[in-house]
Structure 1
Amino acid sequence: MPLTQALGAPHLAVDLGTSCTRVCGPRGTSFQGASVLAVNTRTGKIVAVGDSAKVMAGRTPPAIDTITPMRRGVITDFDAATRLLWHAFGQQRRGRLRSWLPPRVVAGVPAEATEVQQRAVEEAFQFAGARSVRLLPKVTLAAIGAGLPVWDATGTMIVDIGAGTTEVAAFAFGNMVAAESTTTAGDAFGTALGAYLYREHTLALSAEAAEEVKISLSVAAAGGRNTCLPVRGRDRISDLPKTAIVSVGELAPVVAPEVKRIAAAVVAVIGRCPTSVADDIVGRGLVLTGGGSLLAGLPEQLGKAVGMAVHLVDAPLRSALDGAARCAADSLPSRQEPLLAPM
């Protein structure tokens, strides 16, 4: 056993996402919440973190500001990101067995992240108390967590739809053959739905309210019930309260332009693959993961747009975290290292 493990230094897997941050330690998931902080602007003190801070967005007094430190998968507010991670790591520090050494962290970053963006993530983890940081492409971690046979000779492809970005990657022989990223993702779906309700139902909603409507409709569709939901908001004409009835069926044409952009990224990746790998992918289809993939009807729409089978993983929200946890546990044979080489 390595000395650091013998001394009690934990290995942490971290999914630092645009909308949600998750931390998994030796005893399982220790933190899961929105990537949001509520800070008192007068004292600089943190008022709330995670889901409780997200609820406060748009409802705070002037002295309290809600901060989202991540945009499109990269850090845009270094100080806030560091404080968020410090709080997330706190659950490990308060564990029954106090570690003698700071944690060693495995986390994902966008495949097309610049060196500056990667460095910002690494330093945020270090300032939050990490002893060492291993950064890997998040789409690679998602593929590992989803159980894709990325080390096989046969080509495979994954489409990871997050909140701020969608990443598409093809793998073969333990290497990332090609990758493409687009800003069309979960947030774009919510924005499109909000614009639709504003235009067609004269209903004015905040970005947070539109996101909740999108999630509610997706949950209803997955359960096969309540396919029509009442949406309450403000009438943009009269400024009076108004309720509109929205059905799951209305989502398809609303998000169709966004789905086409994701399909274009898939086509671009296939076009950059060797012919044999591209043939494998076309034959096997795509694997869909990430929180944005839970949108009602998205797998079917994407399948029609690219002309291939689309398979949704069992736990799309946890794929990247599960992949990071496997790497943190050093459970991967040495023959798989080429895929996992640090960026």
Structure 2
Amino acid sequence: MRPTKQPFPFSAIVGQEAMKQAMILTAVDPGIGGVLVFGDRGTGKSTAVRALAGLLPPIAVVRGSPTNAASPDEEAEWAETTSDEIAEVPTPVIDLPLGATEDRVVGALDIERALTRGEKAFEPGLLARANRGYLYIDEVNLLEDHIVDLLLDVAQSGENVIEREGLSIRHDARFVLVGSGNPEEGELRPQLLDRFGLSVEVRSPSDIEERIEVIRRRAGFEADKSQFLNKWRAEDAKIRDAILSARSVLADVQTPDDTLRDCAQLCVTLGSDGLRGELTLLRTAKAMAAFEGASVVTRDHLRAVAPMALSHRLRRDPLDDAGSVTRVQRTVDDVLA
């Protein structure tokens, strides 16, 4: 077995606090619905995804399982895994390339087996490999619409269903969907934007000292990975422990009626369509409260997460060029004064 490539430490990423916070909250509660990261190239988007997955504890899987099943009882019926042995593997991070076909994404008929044995068998796709981990799409705004629709439906349901060539297959596909892109190269349709749980914007740092620190840390990582990883191991462990602690208490965090009213009032004032905004805002605020060790969701938690939970759900206002994040922040200040 080849040694696992060590990702850049999550705690060593300079700046980009909103992006890191969004990633952490989806690790606390994957049901939030994924993260959309828009911004300049070379701002650490893919580095952050791999770093967070590398920070998380390994997952227990049935050895050889094509869907990362946690136990033989959870293995898909079509899988030919014969081992009952449980092994620990790193949290998977699967890249979905722009040119990927639907068959490669969802899975397809195993042509080689059909030709050599005359049997119909399923060849799992990228969604199977991403189960219980992360599915990362760079330049998601350039992905074909039908592939994006498919991904978001599966991410929402947690199950991949394929019916073709006489096969009827289903398997678990529970992953955190992370999409990144540059808005100057094309925009996502509003209904697709709305299906991502959180959205953040990242920019190249303008502060000279911050840019120097980015260069210094990257050079240190490439020069001596072992020494660099050892230096940041304790900081990564603190974040990992906080995430695991938050997961354990998440169900016990209380959401008072006043908090529900605040969520609804924010979304009505902003004019967001449907109820997904309120539900995501509340779920994200609850994850934030759990991560901070609070037992009750407060207005401070709503203030902290409202821009990332709501900014991508706003209708365009041609008379307001302040930007969606600024509009959300302005509304938060008014409603939660």
Structure with the higher strand share, 1 or 2: 1
TM-score higher than 0.5: no
TM class, shorter-chain normalised? under 0.3
Could you state the TM-score of these two structures normalised by the residue count of structure 1? 0.26
Q: TM-score, normalised by structure 2?
A: 0.27
- Structure with the bigger RCO (C-alpha within 8 Å, sep 6+) is 2
Specify which structure has the higher proportion of helix: 2
